């Protein structure tokens, strides 16, 4: 999806909090949106992208026309990092590699149960 599928809506930045991976969690509240705008916004839920924010509306030439890519970590690296945080939050009991393999086997088993 490039600039032609860019979603823009008037919004208020309502919350900013720090995440454990040194990022930020941002919360926005929009003004009333049309049904079409709501569908477009919902289609982006859970997707990686970029956020542009300023106090005035963006012009078309202000908006990047290339697709966003998450080049920092692969999905498997992100899962491993999340499992490491979970292991730490649970008290770092035992060896992380053993915990990681147990969690991965459980995930594989869940997927296998969904297969025909």
What digits encode the pLDDT tens for the residues 33-58?
Answer: 999 889 988 988 887 777 888 888 88
- Measure the N-to-C terminal CA separation of the chain; round to a whole number of Å: 33
Same domain as 50, residue 15: yes
Q: Name the token pair of 43.
A: 């289609």
Q: What is the pTM of this model?
A: 0.47
The answer for residues whose C-beta is within 8 angstroms of residue 90's C-beta and 6 or more apart is: none
Same domain as 55, residue 15: yes
Range of the domain at 22: 3-62
């Amino acid at each position: 999806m490039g600039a032609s599928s860019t979603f823009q809506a008037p919004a208020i930045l309502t919350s900013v909090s720090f995440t454990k991976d040194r990022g930020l969690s941002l919360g926005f509240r929009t003004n009333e949106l049309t049904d079409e705008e709501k569908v477009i916004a919902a289609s982006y839920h859970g997707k990686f992208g970029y956020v542009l924010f300023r106090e005035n509306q963006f012009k078309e030439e202000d908006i990047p026309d290339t697709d966003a890519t998450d080049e920092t970590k692969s999905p498997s690296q992100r899962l491993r990092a999340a499992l490491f945080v979970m292991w730490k939050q649970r008290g770092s009991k035992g060896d992380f590699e053993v915990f990681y393999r147990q969690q991965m086997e459980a995930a594989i088993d869940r997927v296998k149960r969904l297969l025909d």
